[in-house]
Amino acid sequence: MSEHFAEFYQRSIDDRDGFWAEQAELIDWQQKPSQICDYSHPPFARWFVGGVTNLCHNAVDRHLATRSDQNALIAVSTETNTEKTYTYKELHTEVSRMAAVLQALGVEKGDRVQIYMPMIAEACFAMLACVRLGAIHTVVFGGFASGALASRIDDAQPKVIISADAGSRGGRVVAYKPLLDEALKQSTHQPAAVLMVNRGLAEMPMSAGRDHDWAALRAQHLDAQVECVWVESTHPSYILYTSGTTGKPKGVQRDTGGYTVALAASMPHIFDAQAGQTFFCTSDIGWVVGHSYIIYAPLIAGMATVMYEGLPIRPDAGIWWSLVEKYKVTHMFSAPTAIRVLKKHEAEHLTRYDISSLKALWLAGEPLDEPTAAWISAAIKKPIVDNYWQTETGWPIMTLCNGVEPQSTRFGSPGKAVYGYNVKLIDDATGQELTEPNQKGVLAMEGPLPPGCMQTVWRDDQRFINTYWKSIPGRLVYSTFDWGIRDADGYYFILGRTDDVINVAGHRLGTREIEEVISSHAQVAEVAVVGVADSLKGQVALAFAVVRDANVVADEASCKNLEADVMKLVDSALGAVARPQRVLFVTALPKTRSGKLLRRALQAVAEGRDPGDLSTMEDPAALAQVQSRL
Asked if residues 74 and 295 have their Cβ atoms less than 8 Å apart, the reply is no
Give the C-alpha separation, 453 to 257, whole Å. 11
Query: Which run of H or E residues covers position 76?
Result: strand 71-77
Q: What is the pTM of this model?
A: 0.86
Note the CATH number of domain 505-629. 3.30.300.30
Give the C-alpha separation, 629 to 557, whole Å. 14
pLDDT > 60? residue 2: no
Say yes or no: do domains 5-310+387-481 and 505-629 share a fold. no
Asked if residues 398 and 418 have their Cβ atoms less than 8 Å apart, the reply is yes
pLDDT in tens, 44-93: 999 999 999 999 999 999 999 999 999 999 999 999 999 999 999 999 99
Residue with the bigger pLDDT between 568 and 144: it is: 568
Average pLDDT, the chain: 93
Residue with the bigger pLDDT between 347 and 319: it is: 319
Asked if residues 138 and 131 have their Cβ atoms less than 8 Å apart, the reply is no
Asked if residues 194 and 161 have their Cβ atoms less than 8 Å apart, the reply is yes
- pLDDT for 499 equals 65
Q: Which architecture does CATH list for 5-310+387-481?
A: 3-Layer(aba) Sandwich (3.40)
Going from N- to C-terminal start, the domains of the chain cover 5-310+387-481, 505-629
- pLDDT for 442 equals 96
Cα Rg of the chain (Å, integer)? 24
Give the C-alpha separation, 45 to 464, whole Å. 12
- 101-115, 359-373, 513-527, 585-599 — most confident range: 101-115
pLDDT in tens, 270-281: 999 999 999 999
Query: Which run of H or E residues covers position 559?
Result: helix 556-574
At residue 286, the 3 state secondary structure works out as coil
- pLDDT for 487 equals 97
Return the DSSP state at 418.
P
Asked if residues 261 and 76 have their Cβ atoms less than 8 Å apart, the reply is no
Asked if residues 433 and 512 have their Cβ atoms less than 8 Å apart, the reply is no
Asked if residues 380 and 329 have their Cβ atoms less than 8 Å apart, the reply is no
Confidence of residue 1 (pLDDT cuts 50, 70, 90): very low
% of residues, the chain, pLDDT over 90:
77
> What's the whole-number mean pLDDT along residues 378-383?
95
Closest CA to 449 of 12, 20, 22, 45: 45
pLDDT in tens, 240-270: 998 433 457 789 999 999 999 999 999 999 9
Q: State the burial class of residue 93 (Cβ atoms within 10 Å of its Cβ: 0-12, 13-18, 19+).
A: middle
